[in-house]
Amino acid sequence: MADSDASSSDSSPAAAPNVITEDDVRVLVPLGALNDPATLERMLTENRWLDVAEYLQKAVEFHAEDAAAAVAYPEDAPSPADMLRAHPELYVLPRVQHALELLGQGKQALAFQYYGDTVFAPTRVARRTPHLDALLARLQDMILDGRPDVLNLPDERLMTSRHIRDYLRVYFPAFNRSPEVVASIAASKRDLYTTAAFGEALGGDYFRCLVCHQQLTLPTAPDHRFVEHLHDDCPAVTPAVRRRLPRRNRPPRRQPAPAAAGEPHGGGAAGGGAPDHHQVAPD
C-alpha cells in the first residue's frame, strides 16, 4: 500500500486479546469487510488515510448487496462499486485528509498535486451536494493559502474520522455496531423517534445531523424539527437518504416570490436573509 502516513507496528508488543493487529490490517483491508468496527477504527486512530480509502473502496465491493441498496445517487452510478459516483462524500473524505496531512508536513506542492489529481479532477464528473462543494472549496483554500502553521491537524483528523463514521451509520446501518454506536442510537431514539437513523442526541437541546454533520439546537419537538431540517435545510441529503425520510410534518416552507423591478428583495420585510441551519427556532 502507498500510505505515506502509515506507521509500522511490526516491532510492537503482542496485542491484547480482541485488539486488531498489524497482520489483521494487512488481511482485512484488501478484503473490505465492515463487520468488525475495530479494523476501521485502528486505521482512523493511526491516521492511515490511504489505507482507509482503499478499505472503504473494497467494502462497497465486499458488501455488494448492501452497497447496491445504499447508493447515494442510484441514477448516476452504474455499479455500487463505482464509489466516486455512488458515494462521492465517502470517496472524498479520507483523500481530503491525506492532502491535509501533506500540507501539515510542509509539502504544499505535493498536497496541491495530490488534491488536483486525486480529488479535484475525479470529482468534476460526480454529482455533489452543497455540503460536499463546501468541503472541497475549503480544502482548496487551505492548500492555496499554504500555511501549515494555522492548520490544526488533530482537530481535522477527529472531524474527518467522525464524518466517515457518520456516513457509514447513515448509508450502511447494519454495520459498525460498536457498543458506543449502539448506546448512541438507543439514547437518540428517546427524542428522535422517527429520525434516529439520521441524527444523534448530544444532551439537552443539542443534536447532530449525521447526514451533514451539523450541530442543531432543537429546544422543542426535536423529532418534528429534525424532520424539517432533513427535508428543507440539510445540505447533504442525497436521493438515497430522501427515499428513507419520514413524511413531512407540514407543507414545505414557501420561498419568497421574486421582487418586482424596483422593489427591495424580500418584499421589504425586515430581518430577511438566509436561514441559520445551525439553529431551529421554536414555534
| pLDDT greater than 60 at residue 102 | yes
Burial 11-47 (b: 16+ CB within 10 A, else e): eeeeeeeeebebeebeebbeebebeebebbbbbbebb
For the record, the C-alpha cell of 59 comes out as 467494502
pLDDT score at 5: 42
Confidence (pTM): 0.76
Average pLDDT score, the chain: 77
Give CA–CA dist 86/76, Å, rounded. 7
C-alpha atoms less than 13 angstroms from C-alpha of 222 in its C-beta half-sphere:
25
| pLDDT greater than 80 at residue 13 | no
Question: Is residue 59 a contact partner of residue 39, using CB atoms and an 8 Å limit?
Answer: no
Beta bridge partners of 201: 207
Give CA–CA dist 165/271, Å, rounded. 38
What one-character DSSP code corresponds to residue 279?
B
Give CA–CA dist 155/134, Å, rounded. 18
In three-state secondary structure terms, 199 is strand
- Give residue-wise pLDDT tens across range 128-155: 889 999 999 988 888 888 777 778 999 9
When pLDDT is cut at 50, 70 and 90, the band that residue 21 belongs to is low
| pLDDT greater than 50 at residue 17 | no
For the record, the C-alpha cell of 196 comes out as 434516529
- Give residue-wise pLDDT tens across range 27-48: 656 555 666 677 888 889 999 9
- Give residue-wise pLDDT tens across range 244-282: 888 886 655 555 444 444 444 433 333 333 333 344 444
What one-character DSSP code corresponds to residue 149?
G
Question: Is residue 85 a contact partner of residue 127, using CB atoms and an 8 Å limit?
Answer: yes
Q: Is the dihedral of CA 223, 225, 230, 231 positive or negative?
A: positive
Q: In the chain, how long is the greatest CA-to-CA distance?
A: 76
- Mean predicted confidence (pLDDT) in 157-165: 95
**Whats the size of the chain, residue-wise?**
283
